[in-house]
Amino acid sequence: MKYTEEHEWLRQEGDVIVVGITEHAAEQLGDVVFVELPEVGQAVTKDEEVVVIESVKAASDILAPIDGEITEVNEPLTDAPSKVNEDAEGEAWFFKMTAADPSQMDEFMDEAGYKAFIG
């Protein structure tokens, strides 16, 4: 997995990139009460707002980590947003996308780098 400074994780599965937020981010947010997901087929540009999360503490935007197209969204999160707190780096992924330029993944941190970043 790769990690961004915005506390997102990216996992490559073949030609698809799965995107979510880290456990650290979920802990900082507190209890998540609402998730708004992007549309399948939506073209996104790096740093474009694609997901809105609301918690008891704050509202946050999740940005597209790379350029590409949304291919799938995790619909169950809209009915059960608390899954983000329960399994942020597993079942609570937000969307899957294809990368317009897979080399953009190279600029993100590995797990050791991310742990040092949040240290």
**Percent composition of the chain: helix, strand, coil (DSSP 3-state, to 5):** 25, 40, 40
Q: Rounded mean pLDDT of 36-57? A: 96
Indicate if the pLDDT at residue 67 is higher than 90. Answer: yes
The CATH number for 2-101, chosen from 2.40.50.100, 3.40.50.720, 3.40.1350.10, 1.10.3720.10, is 2.40.50.100
pTM comes to 0.94
Structure tokens at 86: 């329960």
Q: What is the pLDDT of residue 92?
A: 97
Confidence of residue 58 (pLDDT cuts 50, 70, 90): confident
Q: What is the pLDDT of residue 52?
A: 96
In the chain, where the domains are located: 2-101
Q: Rounded mean pLDDT of 33-51? A: 97
Q: Rounded mean pLDDT of 27-39? A: 96
- Which amino acid appears at position 29 of this protein? L
Edge-to-edge strands of the sheet including 2-3?
A: 2-3, 8-13, 16-21, 95-99, 68-73, 43-44
Dihedral sign from CA coordinates of 30, 36, 41, 42: negative
CA dihedral 37, 40, 45, 48 (to 10 degrees): -10
Computed over every residue of the chain, the mean pLDDT equals 96
Indicate if the pLDDT at residue 39 is higher than 90. Answer: yes
